Amino acid sequence: MATGQRNNRIIVPQARQALDRLKYETASEIGLPNYQGYLGDVPSRLNGAVGGNMVRKMIRFAEQQMAQGQTVPTLGTTGAGAQPAGQAFGAQVPGQALPGQQIPTFGR
């Protein structure tokens, strides 16, 4: 990606502080206690480890919500349009076709 073309915008601006806390917590857990301010001297391998662990935590959180039957936002929404877990993220309900899809009958 060319210089100046970063795509790290936060989709829900109200989540910025929570994401920063998650970042600092994650960095501390992997052994980077002072992970604030200028980070240009931190190797990309360590920055990648922080980001990767953040993603794992967010996925774990979403999976726990889905397992408990709580609502989770669908892809492409910013909070509005939450659906019951199991219908989010394009999950198909058994016996129900997705838009533009036909369910095979297998000789019925």
Supply the pTM of this predicted model: 0.59
Distance of alpha carbon 73 from alpha carbon 62, whole angstroms:
9
Q: Could you report the per-residue pLDDT of 84-98, keeping only the tens digit for each? A: 544 444 444 455 555
Distance of alpha carbon 67 from alpha carbon 73, whole angstroms:
14
Report the b/e string of 14-53 with b at 16+ CB within 10 A. eeeeeeeebbbebbeeeebeebeeeeeeeeeeeeebbeeb
Q: Could you report the per-residue pLDDT of 1-31, keeping only the tens digit for each? A: 566 666 777 788 888 999 999 999 999 999 9
Query: How many CB atoms are located within 10 Å of the residue 100 CB?
Result: 5
